[in-house]
Amino acid sequence: MDGSFLIGSHAVSGGETFQAFDPATNEALDTDFAVSTVEHVAQACALADDAFDSFRDLDPEARATFLDTVADEIEATDGLVERAMAESGLPEARLTGERGRTCGQLRLFAKLLRQGRWANVVVDNAMPDRKPLPRADLRQRRIAVGPVAVFGASNFPLAFSVAGGDTASAFAAGCPVVCKGHPAHPGTSVLVGRAIQAAVKKCGLHEGVFSLIQGPANELGAALVRDPRIKAVGFTGSRGGGLALVEIAQNRPEPIPVYAEMSSINPVLLFPAALAARGEAMGKAYVGSLTMGSGQFCTNPGVVVGLDSPDLDSFAQTAADALVEAQPQVMLTSGIHANYDKGVELLSGQSSVETLARGAEGTGCNRGRAALFTTTGKAFIDNPELAHEVFGAASIIVKCQSFEEVRQVLAGMEGQLTITLQLDDADQEEAAKLLPLMERKAGRILANGWPTGVEVSYAMVHGGPFPATSDPRTTSVGTAAIERFLRPVCYQDLPDALLPKPVKHGNPLGLPRTVDGEQE
């Protein structure tokens, strides 16, 4: 295993080092990883700035080929899944699937580039004879914002990390990337970084298109966000971490956007007819979603809300019975496990909260023991601490006395990534009354499923009002993620020789256009 970090085409080693730990044993893994310095951050950002104009000016097909090549190189990287397993404690099947998702989203953005709609080319042809005033020739396209800082996430060492959705969408937009690898999985980060580095070389691109910096200190990421050459930030992690980066970015001489996915409890609303028809099956499926991956998903169902009734009691008992059998799984890091235990202790210590069930006891390090609680709608409304995210397999069932109380529970919640409806036909009238409120609260509303699992597609929204994300207008998953890293530019009366290819009169790239208000 190579312990270097990557500044452009160069591997850098020496100086201070740090190690990764196997969360299943808390033992250090075998490689010493070089720690980047603030000076290395500046070097990487300078290279990214040097690369920016040539990279953003590539024809869409050339950038698409680069994204395809990155995916190919990741698939050809020996030992990637095994190293990710050692550093994260996640099982082989999960990480094999995550590698497929990572490569799949790279190729989806390549397809998007070839389709051309992302450029949003708009042409208003000149109207020299218009009265009372003529109209100039106006042509608009979207261009990349500049170099982007990407922060690797702890819970997805591949799909939300070095070559994850933030990096893929930034590359697709034409933005060089300086990535801060997550310190929990530096070996995984190096392997993926090497794959991107190889793709940059194969495609003949400027070396500054990608750099990887590494190290455990928060100051490293802070220096990256402060660098004046960075023009946007992609982050997935804790609310505290995301808000710290937002503050740094807003206090720069030139403030920049931080697209941070941070905190969500993803409420699930259980409607009466659905509970009566299939409450037992729903209880089992709920626990399956809750305990998947030790609950370490940003879309984990942290709160379930329903009308107090025998059917809800039956659902809760079925869920409790299933949860008792849930075997504890290794959590991502010792710190995440410690914070999970604190969150569970906080909930269990509330006088208005009843502990329904705990998962099986585990042996070994950092095993997250699942937890299920219940409370009343009034208590949930009166105590904001009950709505705080517990990152792990912990959830609370809220028993309400009326649909009005359900509405109050939902209205008091912060912004969410998801809201789930479990309903049958007879429930649709009451669900329709709540839908406008749900639209104000969440980025994705789903019916008769469970929120864990996010499809990478054209329509997907993985975002939502604060604190789910720092900018509710955006998504970090799906093709719309590219919009975070693009800005519009209008060209007025420029000679055709000076116009960029996307807006030239002859449309040499064959991009879709809106011309004088009509689609072409």
Instruction: Encode pLDDT of 101-141 as tens digits.
Output: 999 999 999 999 999 999 999 999 999 999 999 999 999 99
> Can 207 be counted among the known catalytic residues?
no
What pLDDT score does 1 carry? Answer: 79
Cα distances from 167 to residues 150, 192, 196, 375, in angstroms, run 7, 12, 10, 41
> Can 298 be counted among the known catalytic residues?
yes
CB atoms within 10 A of CB 31: 16
CA distance 299 to 155: 12
One digit per residue, the tens of pLDDT, for the chain of length 520 reads 789 999 999 999 989 999 999 999 999 999 999 999 999 999 999 999 999 999 999 999 999 999 999 999 999 999 999 999 999 999 999 999 999 999 999 999 999 999 999 999 999 999 999 999 999 999 999 999 999 999 999 999 999 999 999 999 999 999 999 999 999 999 999 999 999 999 999 999 999 999 999 999 999 999 999 999 999 999 999 999 999 999 999 999 999 999 999 999 999 999 999 999 999 999 999 999 999 999 999 999 999 999 999 999 999 999 999 999 999 999 999 999 999 999 999 999 999 999 999 999 888 899 999 999 999 999 999 999 999 999 999 999 999 999 999 999 999 999 999 999 999 999 999 999 999 999 999 999 999 999 998 999 999 999 999 999 999 999 999 999 999 999 999 999 999 999 999 999 999 999 999 999 999 8
What pLDDT score does 269 carry? Answer: 98
Residue 318, φ and ψ in degrees, nearest 5: -60, -45
Task: Kindly state the tokens that stand for 498.
Answer: 């000076």
What pLDDT score does 362 carry? Answer: 82
Residue 148, φ and ψ in degrees, nearest 5: -120, 135
Buried b or exposed e, range 65-98, using 16+ CB within 10 angstroms: bbbbbbbbbbeebeebbebbbbbbbbeeebbeeb
DSSP 416: E
CA distance 517 to 520: 10
What pLDDT score does 25 carry? Answer: 94
What pLDDT score does 24 carry? Answer: 93
Name the 3-class secondary structure at 118: helix
With beta carbons less than 8 A apart as the criterion, state whether 34 and 216 touch.
no
Pairing label, strands 394-400, 371-376: parallel
pTM score of the predicted model: 0.96
Name the 3-class secondary structure at 218: helix
Catalytic-role residue among 298, 389, 400, 414: 298
Cis omega (within 30 of 0) on the bond before 436?
no
* CATH fold for domain 5-12+33-117+146-262+472-485: Aldehyde Dehydrogenase; Chain A, domain 1 (3.40.605)
Ranges in the chain annotated CATH 3.40.309.10 = 268-447
CA distance 211 to 5: 8
Cα distances from 402 to residues 282, 307, 424, in angstroms, run 21, 6, 18
Name the 3-class secondary structure at 401: coil
CA distance 55 to 145: 12
* Residue labelled with tokens 């040097």: 50
What pLDDT score does 453 carry? Answer: 87
CA distance 298 to 464: 12
CA distance 197 to 209: 9
Query: Strand (E) positions, 125-245?
Result: 138-144, 148-151, 177-180, 210-213, 232-236
Catalytic-role residue among 73, 87, 207, 261: 261
Task: Kindly state the tokens that stand for 408.
Answer: 């109050």
Of 313, 327, 316, the C-alpha closest to 370 is 327
| Interval 133-187: pLDDT, tens | 999 999 999 999 999 999 999 999 999 999 999 999 999 999 999 999 999 999 9
What's at 334, amino acid-wise? S
Sign of CA dihedral 321, 323, 324, 325: positive
Partners of 11 in beta bridges: 6
What pLDDT score does 233 carry? Answer: 98
Of 181, 207, 260, 202, the C-alpha closest to 71 is 202
* CATH fold for domain 268-447: Aldehyde Dehydrogenase; Chain A, domain 2 (3.40.309)
* Residue labelled with tokens 């210590």: 349
Ranges in the chain annotated CATH 3.40.605.10 = 5-12+33-117+146-262+472-485
With beta carbons less than 8 A apart as the criterion, state whether 405 and 377 touch.
yes
